[in-house]
Structure 1
């Protein structure tokens, strides 16, 4: 009985492989503004919302509009660097105030909704009260802002004009029609199981 079940496994695995390759692709991700913190020479995806984060004087933050598969692992980072001394040059420290350098990157044409043309990336120095949040810093330099009912940033400086965290299908945001990397990887794993099962089945028959 055990040998028969092992012998049947390769056929089942092959069927699963065909289903994996033929299966329709899932959503490629979501189109949204992601929020980043600058530390040294690298960007880190913010773990809290901008309204909950209180930046210190001299902080550098970034915003990037793009299509990303999930929140942190594949989210597109702001392009370029934002040096605080350069961005906030000419803005001296003041009592009770702080300065936050921002890099606002509206992304590329490939990530733009419909036929919209994204504005060029820009930097700005927000001068805000010492107790103000990152959301306040953004509002100080990037109006008009648009939020949804959940408080998610939908538009910065009016871009994009519509939509908010829209789900994007793989077919509308892919440069090819073949199976996705995830499907190929899954198919390869199934094929490997089939080969292993065949080898074990033949070994037990000897």
Structure 2
């Protein structure tokens, strides 16, 4: 009987863990990155606030991610000297290298195909923001009412930071286009965590009961 109980509890734990993973929610959006040496770091300011310096490299990536910790990074060449090789320096201007990665077909909204990733050198005023630099090389840009960047070079045509349920990355809702992307809540433990804890507790109790029975036997 104890062995059967343990087997059932272990099976329940596996099922609950899978259910918790299935409930994971991602967001389809453009993430913004700064190049630091030979690696990308998630930008701490939005493109409308960031003011890059001459010689900086910045990137954008369209993808489905749960949050900044698992966000996909831009791919492709990211060297300033390479991207801006054909854009000579000019007095009173700064040059900013931009890497624009439109992502994969798996992350694309239903019915849309991501363009090929590209790199461009923006030559703009010294006080220009990243958004202004981006607008000079990748129009049209689209923003929502909260100034969230929704589209670069017209991609995607619809949607803006919409939620995408786990396992259904092509079923975004257009209603989220007027709202800024929201990070997953950290207000409390998830249902999967609570259930998993209960199962682990039950497993411990069953093991203790079995050991005690053997000693008494």
2:38 aligned residue: 41
Deviation, structure 1 residue 18: 7.8
| Alignment check: 8 A CA contact 2:27 2:65 kept | yes
**Aligned-pair CA distance for 1:193:** 3.3
Q: Does 1:142 align with 2:154?
A: no
Question: What is the alpha-carbon distance in structure 1 between the residues aligned to residue 166 and residue 149 of structure 2?
Answer: 24
Residue 170 of structure 1 deviates from its aligned partner by 1.4
Structure 2 unaligned regions, length at least 5? 1-5, 171-189
Q: CA deviation at 1:101?
A: 0.4
What does the per-residue CA deviation read over 1:12-70, in whole Å, with 9 as the maximum and x for residues that have no partner?
A: x7798487358473253011111011111111111111111111100000000111111
Contact 1:20–1:186 (CA under 8 A) maintained in structure 2? no
CA distance in 1, matches of 2:14, 2:118: 47
CA distance in 2, matches of 1:143, 1:160: 12
SS of the equivalent of 1:51 reads coil
Q: Which runs of 5+ in 1 are unaligned?
A: 1-9, 175-181
Distance (Å, rounded) in 2 between the aligned partners of 1:141 and 1:116: 22
Normalised to the residue count of structure 1, the TM-score between the two structures is 0.79
TM-score by length of 2: 0.75
The residue that corresponds to 2:58 in the other structure is 61
Superposed CA deviations along residues 132-186 of structure 1, whole A, max 9, x for unmatched, are 1111111111100000000001010000111111111113139xxxxxxx99888
Q: Alignment length, in residue pairs? A: 190
Matched, 1:88 2:84: yes
Poorly superposed stretches of 4+, deviation over 4 Å: 13-16, 21-24, 182-191, 200-206
The 2-side partners of 1:194 and 1:132 are apart by: 60
Indicate if the aligned counterparts of 1:58 and 1:99 stay in contact, CA closer than 8 A: yes
Paired residues of 2:97 and 2:122 also in contact (CA < 8 A) = yes
